[in-house]
Amino acid sequence: MREHTADRTDTPAPAELRGDCGSCFGLCCVALPFARSADFAVDKDAGTPCANLRTDHRCGIHATLRERGFSGCTVYDCFGAGQRVSQVTFGGVDWRGGPPERGRGMFDVFPVVRQLHELLWYLTEALTLPAARPLHADLRRTLADTERLAGGTPGELAALDVAAHRQRVNVLLLRTSELVRAGARGRKKNRRNADLMGARLRGADLAGADLRGAYLIAADLTGADLRGADLIGADLRDAELTDADLTGAFFLTQPQVNAARGGPGTRLPDSVTRPVHWTAGG
Ligand code: SF4
């Protein structure tokens, strides 16, 4: 969470869809709940500041998050929701020192805006995919709708049925996926929502596959061919991507990549960057 994006090299995603911790009031470190697990060393309720969050909204253990049991923080990205809620929705007025309801308002709308920003990420990427050209007008319209919703007032955002909007966007993203994958070579396997936890997929041919929502936790994808695969919502925590080829894979986000394992031989699409911990022994 706090500051981990500063470790990255440049990414082609628009700046407003990348977390800018320096412009945020530490919202992810307060608004979100943690459950004690391999990703978080402690339990924390939603709306309660993490004990490691300093008063300047920086993380007090940023340099040693993984060693201290907070690897979940190094994986997370808000897609730019934090700076929007802090600087735009709430006009740059800090929750610290203010009335409790201001803080509660920020913490309540942050997850809503985060979901909308994630949708903006997918829609922005869809508009870069040449095979999706027949849908570009619809994609642009939906992008504008989503942007308008994300720019709502605190009250409008709190009342928004974000799940219903997600569903509408998803219909369009599914059509995009079909167009893009139709151009991929091979059998284009359907593994949508498949339970592939711990699966041995070393060297597997998954080019152009539909891996939407697939559970690939700790799957061995060493050397797998994932070119042109749809990876939206696939759970890649601890998936082994060493020497895998993800060139042209789409709807893959930085948090998914951050949660996986990989190395210098992993080929990634241009939409994401290589996590620093892949080369730092993490
Ligand atoms: S450990 Fe650091 S990055 Fe993680 S929630 Fe706490 S303050 Fe934020």
Q: Could you report the per-residue pLDDT of 121-160, keeping only the tens digit for each? A: 999 999 999 999 999 999 999 999 999 999 999 999 999 9
Instruction: Looking at the structure, tell me whether residues 154 and 204 fall in a common domain.
Output: no
Last residue of a domain, one of 125, 148, 181: 181
Provide the percentage of residues in the chain whose pLDDT is more than 90: 85
pLDDT score recorded for residue 161? 98
Residue 281 pLDDT greater than 70, yes or no? no
SS3 state at 41: coil
What does the DSSP 8-state code read for residue 11?
A: -
Q: Give a yes or no: residue 7 inside a domain.
A: no
Structural domains counted in the chain: 2
Alpha helices per DSSP H over 1-99: 28-31, 71-75, 81-84
Q: Which of 115, 148, 181 is the endpoint of a domain?
A: 181
Distance CA 120, CA 102 (A): 26
Are 265 and 219 part of one and the same domain? yes
Confidence check: pLDDT of 246 > 90: yes
Backbone φ and ψ of 238, nearest 5°: 60, 15
81 in the same domain as 218: no
Residues contacting ligand 1 via CB (< 6 Å): 1-2, 29, 50, 52-53, 59, 61, 70, 73
- Closest residue to atom 5 of ligand 1, CA basis: 29
Residue 228: which domain range?
Answer: 193-282
CA angle 92, 96, 101 (to 5 degrees): 85
CATH number at 259 reads 2.160.20.80
As a whole number, mean pLDDT of residues 167-177 equals 97
Same domain, 205 and 139: no
Distance CA 62, CA 191 (A): 37
Taking the centre of ligand 1 as the mean of its atom positions, its distance from the CA of residue 73, in whole angstroms, is 6
- State whether 197 and 279 are in the same domain: yes
- Structural contact between residues 92 and 57, judged by C-beta atoms closer than 8 angstroms: no
Instruction: Give yes or no for a contact between 155 and 118, defined as CB atoms under 8 angstroms apart.
Output: no
Q: Are 28 and 74 in contact (CB under 8 A)?
A: no
pLDDT at 98: 87
pLDDT over threshold 50, residue 6: no
pLDDT of res. 275: 92
Q: Which of 4, 27, 29 to mutate to test the pocket of ligand 1 (most atoms within 8 A of CB)?
A: 29
- Determine, yes or no, domain membership for 3: no
Q: Report the nearest atom of ligand 1 relative to the CA of 44.
A: 5
Tell whether 44 and 167 lie within a shared domain.
yes
Residue nearest to atom 1 of ligand 1 (CA): 52
Q: Report the SS3 class of residue 261.
A: strand
Ligand 1 centre from 148 Cα, in Å?
A: 30
d(CA 28, CA 110): 8
Give residue 9's pLDDT: 32
34 CA closest ligand 1 atom index = 5
pLDDT of 65: 94
Q: What tokens appear for 35 in the block?
A: 């459950």
Give the H/E segment covering residue 7: none
* Average pLDDT over every residue of 43-64: 94
